[in-house]
Amino acid sequence: MIATINPYKRFKGAFIPNAILEFPGLSQSAKLVWGRLAQFAGANGRCYPKIEEIAAGVALSSRQAKRVLNELVENDFIQVVKPTGKRKLMHWPNEYLFLDHPCFKSDPKCTSEGDTSVPSGGVVNGPSKEVTLMSPPNKRVIQENHNKRVKEETGVTDFDIFWEKYPKKKSKGTARKVWVKINPGKKKSAAILNGLSLAINSNAWEKENGKYIPYPASWLNAEGWEDEDEETYVEPTDYGRQAKIIAADRERIRLLKEKKQRKLEQEATC
């Protein structure tokens, strides 16, 4: 006999507002996909999951997931922004934005205590629902908070990942100073690491056993991740090579986490 459980605060998962659950113009699959997208969204209200991740998260095929996303777009629940320029060449996923659908404003149950709208940059204070406008957050503060949060959650900073990936490990202190000067946030760190992955597999860096690989500080100072030399890009049809790059990145991160964990265990036993 299967035992009963209390689901209250027990599970982690996607959240779907009542206004969407009760909206008659959407299929059940579309409502699930909206909730899954919202789970991917960051503090800026945007998300960048691959179509395969969206499909797997709601037990759909990629083709079904694309059809459901089109349904959400046609009903003005989301907006899809396709990558352009360098991001398109690097095969970045689509960007998904959440739209303020009329159903959210017409249904007081969709937000807490019946409040249906908060201006951009504002917060609601107490039962009186008086709105206090706040100045936009400082960009540098956002970046520093991101770096601090990543380190607290994983014990690994973006610079640690960069250094572990960089093939020429010279002048780490100088490289760290340049990284601090750049002070990259979440998006820029991802761009740097993506650019590094492509550079590592370029013909220029592979030539003569890496003889022409620049020092890490020099590469960062020159914004090497912005290079648009065609030979540094993975051809769209070369899926095998692309998969190897991604697998190698994940393996480096895993080994780095294990190294950090062993170091913490050794310090704890001392």
In terms of Cα–Cα distance, which of 45, 47, 20, 15 is closest to 31?
20
Q: Dihedral through CA 5, CA 7, CA 10, CA 14, nearest 10?
A: 140
The per-residue b/e assignment along 96-113, b for 16 or more CB within 10 angstroms, e otherwise, is bebeebebbeebeebbee
Tokens of 185: 């946030």
Quick one: average pLDDT of 224-248?
57
pLDDT at residue 212, rounded to an integer:
79
Q: Is the pLDDT of residue 92 over 80?
A: yes
What's the pLDDT at 118? 39
Residues 6+ apart with CB under 8 A from 159: 175, 176, 179
Instruction: Supply the angle between the helices 28-40 and 62-74 in degrees, to the nearest 10.
Output: 90
Please tell me the predicted confidence (pLDDT) of residue 34: 95
In this predicted model, what pLDDT tens digit does every residue of 61-91 receive, in sequence order? 988 999 999 999 999 999 999 888 878 888 8
Share of the chain above pLDDT 90, in %: 14
Q: Express each pLDDT in 140-173 by its tens digit.
A: 555 555 555 555 555 567 788 888 888 888 888 8
123 vs 144, residue with greater confidence? 144
- pLDDT at position 245: 63
Residue with tokens 């969204």: 41
pLDDT of 133 higher than 90: no
What is the secondary structure of the chain as a DSSP string? Answer: -PPP---TTT-------HHHHT-TTS-HHHHHHHHHHHHH--TTSEE---HHHHHHHTT--HHHHHHHHHHHHHTTSEEEE---HHHHHTTPPPEEEE---HHHHH-GGGSGGG-----TTEEEETTTTEEEE-PPPPHHHHHHHHHHHHHHHHS--HHHHHHHH-S----HHHHHHHHHHH---HHHHHHHHHHHHHHHTSHHHHGGGGTTPPPHHHHHHTTGGG---GGGSPPTT-HHHHHHHHHHHHHHHHHHHHHHHHHHHHHHH-
Give the list of residues 6+ apart from residue 132 with CB closer than 8 angstroms, or none: 122, 123, 125
* Both structure tokens of 98: 């959440």
pLDDT of amino acid 128: 38
When mean pLDDT is compared across 64-73, 109-118, 204-213, 236-245, the lowest value belongs to 109-118
Question: pTM for the whole thing?
Answer: 0.42
Domain spans of the chain, in order of start: 18-110, 139-269
Q: Which of 53-57, 102-106, 189-193 has the highest mean pLDDT?
A: 53-57
| Low-confidence winner among 88-97, 141-150, 179-188, 254-263 (lowest mean pLDDT) | 141-150
- pLDDT at position 234: 43
222 token code pair: 């020159």
Instruction: Give the pLDDT confidence score for residue 38 in this predicted structure.
Output: 92
Average pLDDT over residues 211-218: 86
Given pLDDT bands bounded at 50, 70 and 90, which one contains residue 97? very high
What fold does the segment set 18-110 form as a domain? Arc Repressor Mutant, subunit A (1.10.10)
115 or 93: which leads in pLDDT: 93
83 and 96 in contact (C-beta within 8 Å)?
no
Q: Burial of 4 by CB count in 10 Å (0-12 exposed, 13-18 middle, 19+ buried)?
A: exposed
Highest mean pLDDT among 32-36, 125-129, 255-259, 260-264: 32-36
Which pLDDT score, from 0 to 100, does residue 108 have? 59
End-to-end Cα spacing for the chain: 49
Q: What is the pLDDT of residue 33?
A: 94
Listed range (41-45, 243-247, 257-261) with the worst mean pLDDT: 243-247
